Amino acid sequence: MKKKLFHIITAFSFLCILILMVIYPNQSYHAAKNGLNIWLNNVLPSLLPFFISTELLIGLGVVNFISVLLEPIMYPIFKVPGAGSFVYAMSITSGYPMGTKITTELRNKKICSQVEAQRLLAFCSTSGPLFIIGSVAVGMFHNSLLGWMILLSHYFGSITTGLCFRNYGNKKSKEKQFMEKTFQNPFTALFEARKNDGRKLGILLGDAVKNSFNSLLNIGGFIIFFSVLIELFSITEIFDIFSNLLSPFFFILNISNESIKGFLSGIMEMTNGINIISGSEDSLIIKGILASFIISWGGFSIHGQAISFISKTDLKVFPYLIAKILHGFFASIFFFLLSKISIFNFKNMSTTVFSNSNIIFLSQINWIDKLIISTSISLNIILSLICIGCLFFIFFRVKNKFFSHN
């Protein structure tokens, strides 16, 4: 009965959206065009190198190599394979939905179990620093210090969420498996993964490019659809209606209707919501708390992209959504705590506007330069993880031999 009711509500909702598109064709067209421009000029060049490099690294066995090297760090803390370090590094660098995409790839390749992948989804779905500092802090709030506070709150929140999910689906047998493979030879893992993949390098490269473009087309579709949806909601004043209904509940927090409207809009799509909040008359601490929650929550636009990847695996959507809610709450709390630290000089923040000359805006860089920057960042992440992993591998090897002799 519940499934039938859900199906009816979903079908009726999309029918209403279609009717609104027919009623407002011009606005829908311009909103779709704006979403297409965002995808083509920002998302595509920024994420394409990460997607291709991830496909190649998994096929070549490099991710298995990194997984073995960093497992002694990642498993005791988060109870996930060492490959989780690769997922998290890619996620915090490139932003949504990179972490979810790689996690589902690892699950499909059997590099991690269902439970481990579910734990990874909990904390490896994050925004990137260029968006938080460049677009949000400097572009919308005109204050880069606020961006650093939101950035730290966002990543502290994700780590805390990961710690909360470390015992999700915990099994004693998994602890035994970890102890057996902690000091496995990483080169053995690399060669075994490459052998199991079996594809020639040319085929692997072609598949990487094809799969990456297919994933990006999928993301582009969600961006365009939600751009139209946000525009239709604005025209029909749906956000204003819900804002007025919820205003009594937010009255005790002294939050204006404009910020409530921005918050509701951000629940749907974070960029538009944060932009509305930045223009409200509320205090900067209220704006920062709301922005931190929205960025960590991600918005239904991001969740639609994530669910499209999750649905191709045996992973569950509900724990992912619970994790995103927790991430939002933790990020808001961390932002409030950071605002009380004197080093951030929060009282004077409203008058402290930093120069924008040293901030890189993706919107001000041409398509080729964005592609080059993204490629450089992805390669640096991979090399850094390998170097760090080698150092820890050597350390644990030496430590193991030392104690075995004693």
Q: What SS3 state is found at 156?
A: helix
Query: Which tokens sit at 238?
Result: 């749906």
For the chain, give the longest Cα–Cα distance.
80
- Report CA torsion sign: 131, 335, 74, 173: negative
28 pLDDT higher than 60: yes
183 pLDDT higher than 80: no
401 pLDDT higher than 70: no
Residue partners of 228: CB distance under 8 A and separation at least 6: 21, 28, 31, 32, 35
299 pLDDT higher than 80: yes
250 pLDDT higher than 80: no
pLDDT-wise least confident of 31-45, 210-224, 226-240, 249-263? 249-263
Do the beta carbons of residue 190 and residue 154 sit within 8 Å? no
Helices 144-164 and 62-78: crossing angle, nearest 10°?
80
| Residue bearing tokens 């009255």 | 251
d(CA 308, CA 140): 30
CA 246 centroid distance within chain: 28
DSSP helix, strand, coil percent of the chain (3-state; round to 5): 80, 0, 20
What is residue 357's DSSP assignment? T
pLDDT-wise least confident of 19-23, 190-194, 303-307, 362-366? 362-366
Give the pLDDT score at 265. Answer: 83
Give the pLDDT score at 367. Answer: 64
d(CA 268, CA 119): 24
Do the beta carbons of residue 349 and residue 145 sit within 8 Å? yes
- Tally Cβ neighbours within 10 Å of residue 106: 26
